[in-house]
Chains A and B, each alone.
Chain A
Amino acid sequence: MSGDYRSAGIVRPQRASFAEALPLRCGATLPAFELVYETYGTLNADRSNAILVCHALNASHHVAGVYADQPDNEGWWDNMVGPGKPVDTDRFFVVGVNNLGSCFGSTGPSSINPATSRPWGSDFPIITVEDWVDGQARLADHLGIDCFAAIMGGSLGGMQALCWAIRYPDRVRDALVIAAAPNLSAQNIAFNEVARSAILTDPEFHGGHFYAKGVKPVRGLRVARMIGHITYISDAQMEEKFGRQLREGIKYSFEPEFQIESYLRYQAEKFAEYYDANTYLRITKALDYFDPALATGGDLTRALAPAKCRFLVISFTTDWRFSPARAREIVKALVDNQRDASYAEIVAPHGHDAFLLDAPQYHAVVRIYLARAAERAGG
């Protein structure tokens, strides 16, 4: 976010429609679907300089730049992606895509179900990381990209990059797996279950068909966001930022008195305004189900055997949601498979959220790695 960085500037979301049905892992099929995406930079003549950026839980296709009518609505990874930035759009053609089941324009629970002409709601199928990746592959076809120079993402986005490497080994040359894990721990799933319970038990959830009633389970969404938010920050960072600071002194009440309470409430409020409860349920489920080693009896090495690309794995020292130890499991599986892989463990105080911030070593590693990747490709 230094002033000498240029921005991707004014960007515009685009929409791709896919008439061919998409079979999903849960057994259901999406009859037809749409994906909203944005691109930055220019696709070169041999279509070899494309980078796909996969988003995490609450983000979208809006990775970088701003909208003409919303000059403050900066993309969620604007510090990473843009001209002269670590993911340099002067060199690469970057694609940001909104995943299936999301609530930012791609087909999801709030879209119209062609079978009923009403919003899908709870009838929208459960989507997995594999389904997202299959949908993204359709978008790649649509854009004429046979093989991505790189596919990258943080957190759940990193899991998608990993999934791509396994599922479409010939369609990706480099995978950047950041602040991710090979699957969720019991503790991770537990946090997700608390979040889902908050939504599912909100009286305004109405079994997921709340759109027609003109209400939203905002209370559930708020609690879900609060629990999530706590896990994205390190204990130390929360202590430093808030400590036991009070807003106006102790009042012996249930009003938000500590700064951390008021911060959480603010974050939750903001989130519940724009986010869809059915999407939240599905994205946390996609996280829970992600486990490439399930098919190989828990053997991650065998699960990663089909991958051919180079890997850059990055973790952050204070990330307790997806800890360095989990990233090292991925690294070990890659080493066992004798894949080209590098691993950087970034010292950062921020916890899981560090992947969205701009620790100098973190950005330098991504910048140099991608510059090297471009050199190899002769770009």
Chain B
Amino acid sequence: MSFSTRADFSTIAGWIAPNARVLDLGCGDGSLFAYLRESRGAVGYGIEIDDKGVLASISNGVNVIQSNLESGLAGFDDQSFDSVILSQTLQAMRHTEQIVLEMLRVGREAIVTFPNFGHWSHRMQVLRGRMPVSASLPYQWYNTPNIHLCTVADFDAFCAERGFRVLERVVLHEAQPVRMFPNLLGSLAIYRFRRG
């Protein structure tokens, strides 16, 4: 069985303990969950609102619960998962802060990935007076689902203000880790954090 693998999958997999209980928010076609199941023996559920995603997840053998993340995680008990993942969905959420708090209520750890708005190419486009369009932000301003874009520095500040402890942070560009000036040279940020 082969699954499409995104750049962040292997980094996330490295942060999941063997046989961990995982909740994947906005699981899409279930490919990340299936990857974690194959590579780490993860068990748990994906949550997806889109009909096609639900079908694809079932087809991939992933437990999927059709639900709107914007209404929170009411169906899940406190601290009932080892890791709660929100992969490339944070920036498209309306209740951004609320979902992060919910992730830390339900899970011992949260893993969040998002496109870095601070990447130099995005900054250049804004300087030229246009909204950025790139491989990591492949939409026009008028059709983008992304409504809460942030930079690596923004998310660092958010975690610091809320007292979240960042356990690990990896910033990628073209699937390679960026160690120098990540907020300038990285296009995809991946965080693992917990309550402080």
Contacts and interface: CB of A to CB of B under 8 A. Distances in A.
Interface stretch (A134-142, A262-270, A336-344): A336-344
B64 A343 contact: yes
Given A332-B75, A335-B76, A372 B59 contact: yes
Interface size class of A (residues with CB under 8 A): 20 to 34
Contact of A372 (B54, B61, B76): B61
Interface in B70-123: 75-77, 80
B75 A335 contact: yes
A47 interface: no
Contacts of A361: 51, 55
Interface string A323-360: 00000100110011010111111010000000000000
16 contacts: A312-B58, A328-B67, A331-B65, A332-B76, A338-B43, A340-B63, A341-B45, A342-B54, A343-B65, A343-B67, A344-B58, A365-B54, A365-B58, A368-B59, A369-B58, A376-B61
- From DSSP, what is the main secondary structure of chain A's interface residues? helix
Contacts of B76: 332, 335
Contact of A365 (B55, B61, B80): B55
Contacts of B61: 372, 376
Contact of B45 (A335, A347, A365, A371): A335
A362 to B, nearest CB: 10
A342 B58 contact: yes
A112 interface: no
Interface of A: 312, 328, 331-332, 335-336, 338, 340-345, 347, 361, 364-365, 368-369, 371-372, 376
Contacts of B65: 331, 335, 341-343
Contact of B55 (A335, A336, A347, A368): A368
B173 interface: no
B21 interface: yes
A158 B55 CA distance: 21
Nearest to B23: A335
A340 B61 CA distance: 10
B54 A344 contact: yes
Contacts of B10: none
A368 B58 contact: yes
Contacts of B51: 347, 361
Interface residues of B, number: 19
B66 interface: yes
B55 A342 contact: no
A310 to B, nearest CB: 8
Contacts of A344: 54, 58, 66
Contacts of A365: 54-55, 58
A331 B58 CA distance: 15
B55 A328 contact: no
Q: Which of A312, A328, A342: most chain B Cβ within 10 A?
A: A342
Contacts of B66: 343-345
Contacts of A369: 58
A340 B80 CA distance: 15
B1 to A, nearest CB: 10
A344 B80 CA distance: 22
A372 B75 contact: no
Given A332-B76, A342-B57, 8 more contacts: A312-B58, A328-B67, A340-B63, A341-B63, A343-B66, A344-B66, A368-B58, A376-B61
A329 to B, nearest CB: 9
Contacts of A341: 45, 63, 65
A3 B77 CA distance: 46
B112 to A, nearest CB: 22
A255 B194 CA distance: 69
Nearest to B51: A361
A126 B21 CA distance: 44
B73 to A, nearest CB: 10
Contacts of A371: 59
Contacts of B45: 335, 341
Nearest to A347: B51
Nearest to A345: B66
B36 to A, nearest CB: 15
Q: Which of B45, B58, B80: most chain A Cβ within 10 A?
A: B58
Interface string B14-40: 000000010000000000000000000
A328 B64 contact: no
Q: Which of B51, B57, B77: most chain A Cβ within 10 A?
A: B51
Nearest to A366: B58
Contacts of B80: 335-336
